[in-house]
Amino acid sequence: MEENREVSTLGEVKSELKRMKTNVLVIGGGGSGARAAIEASRYVNSVYLVTKGSFGKTGCTPIALGGLAAPFGHADSRDNWEIHFKDTLIGGGLLNNQRLAEIMCKEAPERVREVESWGSAFDRAGNKFYQRQLGGHTYPRTLTSGDEIGREVMVGLVNQCRARKNIRIMDDVYVTKLFTDRNRICGALGVELRTGKVLVFETSAVIIAVGGCGRLWEPYCIAPYGKVGDGLRLAYEVGAEVVDIESYQYHPTGVIWPRFLAGRLMSEGIRGEGGRLYNALGERFMERYDPSKLELATRDYTSRCIFKEVKEGRGTPHGGVWLSVAHLPPKIVEERCPTAVDRLEVAGIDMRKEPVEVRWMNHYQNGGIKVDEHWATNVKGLYAVGEVAGGVHGGNRLGSNSLPNLLVSGR
C-alpha cells in the first residue's frame, strides 16, 4: 500500500513538475558513477547522470591521493590477482564478500588499461607502470600519478562520458526520493539546487554512486562536504538491505595542525615512499607494534597504534604523532608527494625538512548497500556501486583498493 500511494502521489502532482524520462538514472558524479554511466550507455538509448556538485570535480574520486591497486606484477613478478585477493580478505578481517573481492582483484588490471586508453596517465618506470607499496599489500602493486591519482582517473572517465551522446550530465541536482512499484524501481524525485525546480525522473533502473557518510563525524573528517549518507537513506527507504554498516575506516594520518589544514589527508603514499611515524618522545613507535611492516601495517591497526600512543601520554601537543620524510632525499619527496609539499608550504611547513602533526581521522565507509555479484540490490532495478556499496572491503579497506573497486563495480 505504501508503494502504491507513492506512485499515485507522483501522478497527482505530475503537471506541476519538470518530468524527464530515461532508461537509466545514475546518481553521483564521481568515478563509480561515471564508469557506470559509460557502461550503461552501451546498451540503452538514454542515460542521465545527476550529481549534487560539478561533474568530474567534486566528490571523493578527484581528491584520492595514494594510488590504485592492480596486480600487474611490474614491481614484483610474483604478484598476481590471487595474492591481491588474499591481502584484501586478510585486511578486511575475513568479513568481505569474497565473490565481490575476487571480481575486483581479477578485473582491476583490465580496467586500468581501459581508463588509460581514454586519456588518464599514470607514472611509469621505463615502459612499465611505477608501483609503490602500501599497507597490507604483500607486493608493490599501487599505481600512482604523482599524489593525485584520483584526479587523473577522472580525466579518462570524464572524456569518455562527454564523448557519448546518449549520456546527459546534470550538475547541481539533489535526488531526494526513489519511487517503486511492487519492489521495482519506477522513478526518482529531485531538486535543481540553483533554481529550486522540482524534477521527476521516470526510469526503470537507478544506480546509486554517491559515496559514503563521512561528514557525519566532525571535526576530524577527510571525506568532502556533502558525504552524509544520502545513498544509504535513498536505498533503505525503498527496502534495500544494508551490510557491515558498523564497519567504518579511520585513516591514520590526517593533518591536525595548523588548524586551517585540519582534515587534510597525508596520503598513505607518503608512508609508502618511506615516511616514518614518531611519538612526542622521538620514538619510531611502530617498531613496538609491528616490527616487520612498521608504517605499512594496515590502516585500522596503525590508527589504533596512534590512538594508544596519544592516550598513554606520548602524543604531540595537539593530540597526534609526527609524520616525517626528512630522512628521504628531497627530490623523491617532491616528485612523489608534490601536492602535500605544496599544501604544507602554504602553512609555512617544509615537509622535506620538518615533520607534520597527524592523527587518525574517519575516511571511508566500508559497509553500505548490500549487493550481489552484479552490484544489484534486492530491489529490482536498483544498483549500488563504489563506496556506497558494502561487502568488498569487509571490516577494513586496504589503501589503494577504493579506485579499482569503483572502476570494476561501475563497469
SS3 of residue 168 by DSSP:
strand
Q: Is CATH 3.90.700.10 the classification given to domain 249-363?
A: yes
**In 33-171, which ranges are E strands?**
47-50, 68-69, 124-125, 128-129, 131-132, 142-143, 167-170
Report whether pLDDT(1) > 60.
no
pLDDT of residue 6: 41
Helix (H) or strand (E) holding 247: none
Report whether pLDDT(174) > 90.
yes
Check 111, 251, 352, 393 and give the catalytic one.
Answer: 251
CATH 3.50.50.60 residue ranges for the chain: 2-246+366-410
- Whether the CB-CB separation of 72 and 125 falls below 8 Å is answered with no
Interval 372-394: pLDDT, tens: 999 999 999 999 999 999 999 99
pLDDT of residue 239: 97
pLDDT of residue 16: 62
Check 271, 276, 359, 397 and give the catalytic one.
Answer: 271
Which among 184, 87, 179 has a CA at the least distance from the CA of 396?
A: 87
Distance between CA atoms of residues 187 and 335, nearest Å: 48
CATH topology of domain 2-246+366-410: FAD/NAD(P)-binding domain (3.50.50)
In the annotation, is 35 catalytic? no
- Whether the CB-CB separation of 135 and 300 falls below 8 Å is answered with no
Main-chain phi, psi angles of 370, to 5 degrees: -75, 130
The residue assigned the cell 579497506 is 397
Report whether pLDDT(70) > 70.
yes
Report whether pLDDT(4) > 80.
no
- Whether the CB-CB separation of 218 and 208 falls below 8 Å is answered with no
Distance between CA atoms of residues 313 and 58, nearest Å: 39
CATH 3.90.700.10 residue ranges for the chain: 249-363
SS3 of residue 346 by DSSP:
helix
Interval 111-129: pLDDT, tens: 999 999 999 999 998 889 9
- Type of residue numbered 106: K
**In 246-337, which ranges are E strands?**
248-257, 276-278, 321-324
Distance between CA atoms of residues 146 and 58, nearest Å: 19
- Whether the CB-CB separation of 160 and 169 falls below 8 Å is answered with no
pLDDT of residue 30: 95
Q: What is the dihedral of CA 398, 208, 213, 115, to 10 degrees?
A: 40
- Type of residue numbered 232: L
Main-chain phi, psi angles of 328, to 5 degrees: -90, 155
How much of the chain exceeds pLDDT 70, in percent?
96
Buried b / exposed e along 172-199 (16+ C-beta atoms within 10 A):
bbbbeebbbbeeebbbbbbebeeeeeeb
- Whether the CB-CB separation of 12 and 134 falls below 8 Å is answered with no
Strands 185-192 and 173-180: antiparallel
What average pLDDT score do residues 127-140 get? 91
C-alpha cell recorded at residue 142: 599501487
C-alpha cell recorded at residue 345: 608550504
- Whether the CB-CB separation of 268 and 149 falls below 8 Å is answered with no
Interval 273-300: pLDDT, tens: 899 999 999 999 999 999 999 998 988 8
Per mean pLDDT, which of 114-123, 325-334, 344-353 is the most reliable? Answer: 114-123
Average pLDDT, the chain: 91
C-alpha cell recorded at residue 38: 559509460
In the annotation, is 251 catalytic? yes
- Whether the CB-CB separation of 189 and 27 falls below 8 Å is answered with no
Distances (CA, A) of 345 to 121, 338, 349: 26, 11, 5
Report whether pLDDT(405) > 70.
yes
Report whether pLDDT(211) > 50.
yes
User: Which one is predicted more confidently, 352 or 12?
Assistant: 352
Burial of 217 (0-12, 13-18, 19+ CB in 10 A): middle
pLDDT of residue 15: 42
395: Cβ–Cβ under 8 A, 6 or more apart, which residues?
A: 92, 93, 95, 244, 247, 300, 366
Instruction: Assign 216 a pLDDT band (cuts: 50, 70, 90).
Output: confident
Rounded to two decimals, the pTM is 0.89
Angle in degrees, 0-180, between the axes of helices 98-117 and 149-163, rounded to the nearest 10: 70
Largest pairwise CA distance in the chain: 69
SS3 of residue 211 by DSSP:
coil
195: Cβ–Cβ under 8 A, 6 or more apart, which residues?
A: none
Which of 69-78, 96-105, 196-205, 237-246 comes out lowest in average pLDDT? 69-78
